[in-house]
Amino acid sequence: YIKGALPPQEIRNRLMTEGSEFEKSLITYLEAVHVGEFHNGDLATMQAKYPVPTDTNSTYQNPTLMMPVPPPSWCKDKKCSECKRCVQRANWWSNFWETTDDLMVKSNIHTHHQAYEPTAKDRKAAVTKGLKTKYKGAKGCRNKDGICMARFPREIFPESVVDYSDGSLNVKKLESDINNVTPMLTYCLRCNTDVTSLLSGTAIKAIVAYISDYVSKASLKSYQVFSSMYDVLHQNEDPLSADFKRTDKCRRILMKIVNALSTKMEIGGPMAAMYLLDNPDRYTSHNFTVFWWRNYVSEVRRAWYKADSDAQEDVPSDLDDSDDESDSDAEEVDEETFLDKVVLTKSNQKIIGASAVDDYKHRPEDLSSMSLYEWIQCAKRVKRTPAQATKFQAEVDAEAELPIIMPSEDVEMEDAMRDKDGDNIFSRPFAPDHPLYLTHYVRIYKLNVNTTVPNFVGGPLPRRDAGDRGYYCCTMLTLFKPWRSGIELKESIMDWETAYNLHNFFPRESELMNNFNIRYECNDARDDHYATLKKKIREHDAYLGDEDDDLNDFDGVNEDITADDNGEGPNYSLPGPLDRAQAKKMTAMRNMMTAAEWLSTMPGLEKPVPQFQPDQSLNPPRWRALISELRESVANIRLKNLPAIRSGKLAKPTPDTVEVLESEYFSRKFRARQAEAHVLIDSTVTVFTLNKDQERAFRVVANHA
């Protein structure tokens, strides 16, 4: 989290004390750094004072087209107020507030606009200009129900108010049609700005997601990717006919596809400006390293699972009360939950599998007290050069031949592994049990503790206030308690929560665990603007389809980002608004039918349903054969009273008369009598390359035609 800043929940806890000095200081600070009103009057006064100039010869200078004027130098005498510098500074501040008010009138006042539907004239003009895409009208801020998707007008607060029941704070705001601004920022940037205070976990998640999406832009949709690939392949219908090698042909096609995708990628304005000005695309005070935390937790749990399995095998069979089902579940957990990926490397004509978990488990002996979190920050695995590997192999072989290692030799080896920066950066060999002991070593950067932040990937960390408490305790112990095997983290008679409570975490580790939970703390519904808009639309009885369209037009934060999740992803099993509405209608209809006694039964009318029991039990093939025989007998009964056919050939059919057919004709296995028909049917199937289902349907129709 931000260094020196209090978490939102702690701020609220302090604000719940009425009249505290913290409350006064915080309100004074917030009202100074961002305001929701003009400095020299209300909105009507400012609009009358700074109208839009109509005369091109006017001496008025538009502040949005001017550069900011820097302030004059300070007067060294703090008590002076009449010297030249003091007068100049007072005039500058007066001009500063007038310019800021003028800028806010020009750029910060929100005006409602309804979506503009293009007329026939507009569409005709678009066709004349040769526009290939369908012409669309201007996008307004109001939806079909008149609700402003930009959340204007805003709520007005004559003064800053604290709700002492939950510690929420509403900062002073006197104008409903402008957003909050920082006057100094407006004066410097000369454009529309929006400044807010992050006083809830919801606001923090929303602003981080919004800024990231605004700067980097989202990736292309799947249909856009396939459309670009189709266009490239369609323009190069026969790419392999050119006089190039097969690899060159494939490379050219892939290059064209990549170039086509690049032209459709969106790049944010700030990022484009950074590239054009040859500036870095990010400015950070810390470095970030990827940390796949689940692999380490799985290693710890795997160790205890194996220990429990071994203990279970030692129990005599007559004392084991567990059933086969529980054993099968345990085997499934062992296969699915504890899977880990390793990197295969070739060393000395051998294939060796090693993972990042092995680096921590087999770390040097003098780093035994280092926690996993510190290891991720400071440690880096380095590969030895061939010369270093040969020399180290010789040292290991010589060391194995000596029964006792003299202390002086230990000092020489340690000095040889020490880098130029002394104690801040040093190198150590892994433990001999490490799969890459002979080819790699670890380099420790101690100063990275203050400059490197682990980037947790592989899913959100478990929560301490929701979900599986044991899994959370196991994860925190894995991160902050040194271990080489998961067995070392707790006693066999303890559960994970007991071991967690007995361990003494350092203050910094406790602070980190508190920061892990910030995204779930202090979630305020008023900061979830997406949910607020959704509620307003429901209040106006907007049906579901239009509601989704309006919300998709909102240039805000996705609902999944601002929603209060439990760290385990969204729960798609919960009913949505359409399901709840349908259930409500069904409940109302059931109540009406119950009141009308439609669902009540009259005594004496209940008839027991007899249970069917077949006369004989047959397997599926026998049942199918029996049904086929009965179907054939039914067909024969239908033809029993028909006159017998005297000749083997049917007479020429007379139009519009009843034709007498054989019993086989009513079977799906019937085949046409003419050999030419069979040849025609087979050739049709081959020419049109019918699949299995198409061929079956076609043969049934063709044979009966």
DSSP per-residue string spanning 379-432: EEEEEPPHHHHHHHHHHHHHHHH-SS--HHHHHHHHHHTB-TTTTSEEEEEPPT
- Taking the C-alpha atoms of residue 164 and residue 372, their distance in angstroms, rounded to an integer, is 41
Contact (Cβ atoms closer than 8 angstroms) between residue 148 and residue 113: no
Residue 443 pLDDT class (50, 70, 90 cuts) = very high
**Looking at residues 300-308, what average pLDDT do you find?**
86
State pLDDT tens for residues 207-235: 877 777 766 666 778 888 888 888 888 87
Query: How buried is 490 (Cβ within 10 angstroms: 0-12 exposed, 13-18 middle, 19+ buried)?
Result: buried
| 55-64, 239-248, 373-382, 658-667 — most confident range | 373-382
* pLDDT score for 540: 61
State pLDDT tens for residues 164-186: 888 888 999 999 999 999 999 99
Inter-helix orientation angle 324-336/293-314, to 10°:
150
The least confident of 110-124, 280-294, 454-468, 542-556 is 542-556
Q: How far is CA 366 from CA 290, 382, 414, 447, 451, in A?
A: 25, 18, 11, 18, 23
**Looking at residues 26-52, what average pLDDT do you find?**
91
Residue 559 pLDDT class (50, 70, 90 cuts) = very low
- Residue 418 reports pLDDT greater than 60: no
Higher pLDDT, 671 or 322: 671
> What is the chain's mean pLDDT, rounded?
78
Residue 416 pLDDT class (50, 70, 90 cuts) = very low
Cβ within 8 Å of residue 267, ≥6 positions away: 217
**Looking at residues 599-610, what average pLDDT do you find?**
66
Is residue 581 helix, strand or coil? helix
State pLDDT tens for residues 253-274: 888 888 888 888 777 777 788 8
State pLDDT tens for residues 195-207: 988 888 788 878 8
**Looking at residues 526-541, what average pLDDT do you find?**
69
- Taking the C-alpha atoms of residue 255 and residue 179, their distance in angstroms, rounded to an integer, is 46
Instruction: Residue 121: name the closest of 137, 110, 105 by CA.
Output: 137
* pLDDT score for 177: 92
| Kind of pairing between the strands at 168-170 and 161-163 | antiparallel
Q: Dihedral sign, CA of 258, 260, 266, 269?
A: positive
**Looking at residues 30-39, what average pLDDT do you find?**
93
Contact (Cβ atoms closer than 8 angstroms) between residue 480 and residue 509: yes
Strand segments, DSSP code E, in 224-378 are 287-292, 343-347, 350-354
- Residue 425 reports pLDDT greater than 50: yes
Helix (H) or strand (E) holding 169, with range, is strand 168-170
Residue 323 pLDDT class (50, 70, 90 cuts) = very low
Contact (Cβ atoms closer than 8 angstroms) between residue 95 and residue 121: no
Is the peptide bond prior to 610 cis by the omega test (within 30 degrees of 0)?
Answer: no
- Residue 564 reports pLDDT greater than 60: no
Which amino acid, residue 637? Answer: I
Cβ within 8 Å of residue 95, ≥6 positions away: 69
- Taking the C-alpha atoms of residue 388 and residue 382, their distance in angstroms, rounded to an integer, is 12
* pLDDT score for 638: 76
Q: Six-digit token pair at 442?
A: 């670890």
Residue 301 pLDDT class (50, 70, 90 cuts) = very high
* pLDDT score for 56: 62
Instruction: State what percent of residues in the chain have pLDDT above 70.
Output: 74
Is residue 291 helix, strand or coil? strand
* pLDDT score for 573: 54
State pLDDT tens for residues 672-693: 878 888 888 888 888 888 888 8
* pLDDT score for 407: 40
